[in-house]
A = this chain, B = another copy of it.
Amino acid sequence: MIEEDKQKEVHKELRNYLQMQGLKATPERFAVLDEVYSTNFHFEADDILVRMRKKKMHVSRATIYRTLELLENSGLIRKAKLGETKAYYEHTYGRHHHEHMKCTQCGRVIEFESEEIEKLQDVICRQYNFQMTNHILHLFGVCEDCQKTTDGKAKNNYTTELTVK
């Protein structure tokens, strides 16, 4: 469950953004926002739908897609494709930018940060006079656990959601 003060902060940010853009503050938008911020995991559009359905909250799939786009524009979430067709998201409030390491065997996603890499990116952008707004770094390979097993596949199949800090 999302902590109350964080929820308030995030609501305020969205409210400001909507006002600034002349958009309406609808219950659906805040409901999606709350759901997005209820975990620290990566999620996809459909996860939000499923989680909301479980709580008997009715927001259509279309609205979820539209709201996720809005939240991305507002900077409250970030899109991060992990090589698949689907889009993955993660929220940004109170989190550093981080990179992803994905195990191609078990699907596990490990997050890591690297100031040094970020600095080097800035240097490169200056060289090309490129105004960077976002970046994605994904490393693909085989995780520690999967290397240990005989068939090269860890027992725990993480699919997509586990995030290790």
Residues of B within 8 A of A147 (CB): 129, 131
Contact with B along A107-135 (1 / 0, CB 8 A): 00010101011001100110011111111
Residues of B within 8 A of A129 (CB): 144, 147
Is A36's beta carbon under 8 Å from chain B? no
Is A81's beta carbon under 8 Å from chain B? yes
Is A79's beta carbon under 8 Å from chain B? yes
Contact B81 A83 (CB under 8 A): yes
A130 CA to B144 CA, complexed, in Å: 6
Copy number in the complex reads 2
Residues of B within 8 A of A141 (CB): 125, 130-134
Is A2's beta carbon under 8 Å from chain B? no
A67 CA to B83 CA, complexed, in Å: 18
Contact B133 A140 (CB under 8 A): yes
Contact with B along A84-120 (1 / 0, CB 8 A): 0101000000000000010110000010101011001
Residue of B nearest to A152 (CB): B131
Residue of B nearest to A80 (CB): B83
Q: Which of B110, B117, B125, B144 contacts A120 (CB 8 A)?
A: B117
Residues of B within 8 A of A83 (CB): 79, 81, 136
Residues of B within 8 A of A136 (CB): 83, 136-138, 140
Q: Which of B85, B137, B139 contacts A130 (CB 8 A)?
A: B139
Q: A85-B87, A134-B141, A135-B138 are in contact. List 16 more A-B contacts (CB 8 A).
A: A79-B83, A85-B85, A101-B130, A103-B130, A110-B130, A125-B141, A130-B141, A131-B141, A131-B143, A131-B147, A132-B139, A132-B140, A134-B139, A135-B139, A136-B140, A137-B138
